[in-house]
Chains A and B, each alone.
Chain A
Amino acid sequence: EAGVVQSPRYKIIEKKQPVAFWCNPISGHNTLYWYRQNLGQGPELLIRYENEEAVDDSQLPKDRFSAERLKGVDSTLKIQPAELGDSAVYLCASSSSPQETQYFGPGTRLLVL
């Protein structure tokens, strides 16, 4: 069984530039999560989807971050414009339902210069 797939794995951009991350969850997993993980810290939830509906986006900085999950499968997370403080690893995870095991993707390591 294929795991959660993310791309790109690494991204270096200059501040004020836009950036987008893509996630393909495990087949059949209705719940999809985007996390941000800063160095030396635990993952911090940005947004959670149930199918195509964003059910928890309270931690998403909506002035510059946006996300979508069209058709309830793949998802993209966008930052526009990026700031220096956005440098982090962006992790996508999926589960069959809330409170079931979350499986993480390899993450996208973002560096904003």
Chain B
Amino acid sequence: GENVEQHPSTLSVQEGDSAVIKCTYSDSASNYFPWYKQELGKRPQLIIDIRSNVGEKKDQRIAVTLNKTAKHFSLHITETQPEDSAVYFCAASYSSASKIIFGSGTRLSIRP
């Protein structure tokens, strides 16, 4: 069935360095890929998304890249700050069923 795999499950980076989180998806019909940030005890919040007609999208320190051929997409956070510490979830939307499948999450910790 449809599946989204996310790596790594935990990531610790020095403040100011970059962080990269990678996801792969199984259904080639997927065409919408959002990323959510969830702080401890809070709701998931959309931070950036990309559609399959675009290869890269940037929003200040956050960027997402999509490789449709390889069926993987990545989140890049540059110049990391303490407030970037959270769990990040990728997701893929399967257009045939209008269903969204989430990855298992990456716990990002920013070391001061």
B-binding residues in A (CB < 8 A): 40-45, 48, 55-56, 91, 98-99, 101-107
Contacts and interface: CB of A to CB of B under 8 A. Distances in A.
Interface of B: 6, 31-32, 34, 36, 42-46, 49, 89, 91, 93, 95, 97-105
A105 B43 contact: yes
B103 A48 contact: no
B107 to A, nearest CB: 8
Given A99-B32, A101-B34, A107 B43 contact: yes
Contacts of A105: 43
B37 to A, nearest CB: 11
Contacts, number: 48
Contacts of B99: 45, 48, 56
Given A42-B89, A42-B102, A56 B43 contact: no
B104 A41 contact: yes
A45 B36 CA distance: 15
A99 B46 contact: no
A91 B98 CA distance: 18
Interface residues of A, dominant DSSP: loop
B103 A99 contact: no
Given A40-B105, A99-B93, A99-B95, A45 B100 contact: yes
Contacts of B6: 42
Nearest to A91: B43
A45 B91 CA distance: 12
10 closest A-B pairs by CB: A42-B102, A98-B98, A104-B43, A42-B89, A99-B32, A104-B44, A106-B43, A43-B102, A42-B105, A99-B93
A40 B45 CA distance: 16
A41 to B, nearest CB: 6
A101 B98 contact: no
Contacts of B91: 42
Nearest to A59: B99
A43 B89 contact: yes
Contacts of B44: 43, 91, 104
